[in-house]
Amino acid sequence: MYNCELLRFMNITDKQGNLTPVEGNRDIPIEIKRIYYITNVENGAIRGYHAHRKLHQVLICLKGSVNIKTLNPKEEHIYKLDNSYTGLYIGPYIWREMFDFSDDAVLLVLASDYYDESDYIRDIDNYMKEAKHRF
């Protein structure tokens, strides 16, 4: 079990534009308690560099593009998010790094719980120690 996967949502397109619905516990495997979004990322900046102990998240790049590296102690993957109808589900104990944000990138994050700094593991060595027996 890798604990991280791409999800494809419905994309309803017509002459008036595109619409993508995302329903908690239906289109994504989590109930949504919080959303946040990342914009205006400086060229070359890398965000993330952490894992969560309990939090589940779905990342959707609404505009532009971003690359996301995810890893657990056994596997590593790089995903490119570049459309508004694909989500990247990231479960507990997955280390993530977001990089190569396009200038216009808008990254929406759907989260299963409220913000809680004590749920973060921000040091990769500590992460490896805590995560190694889970995968």
Q: Active-site positions? A: 50
Smallest separation (angstroms) from ligand TYD to the CB of 14: 34
Residues 1-40 that bind ligand TYD (CB under 6 A): 34, 36, 38
Smallest separation (angstroms) from ligand TYD to the CB of 100: 14
User: What is the DSSP annotation of 78-94?
Assistant: EEEE-STTEEEEE-TT-
The amino acid occupying position 43 is N
Binding mask 92-121 for ligand TYD (x = CB under 6 A): -----------------------x------
Name the residue nearer to ligand TYD (CB basis): 115 or 135: 115
Sort strands 86-90 and 4-8 into parallel, antiparallel or unpaired. antiparallel
Residues 29-88 that bind ligand TYD (CB under 6 A): 34, 36, 38, 47-48, 50
List the Cα angle 71/118/78 in 5-degree steps: 15
Phi and psi at residue 78, in whole multiples of 5°? -120, 130
DSSP state of 112: S
Binding positions for ligand TYD, rule: CB under 6 A: 34, 36, 38, 47-48, 50, 115
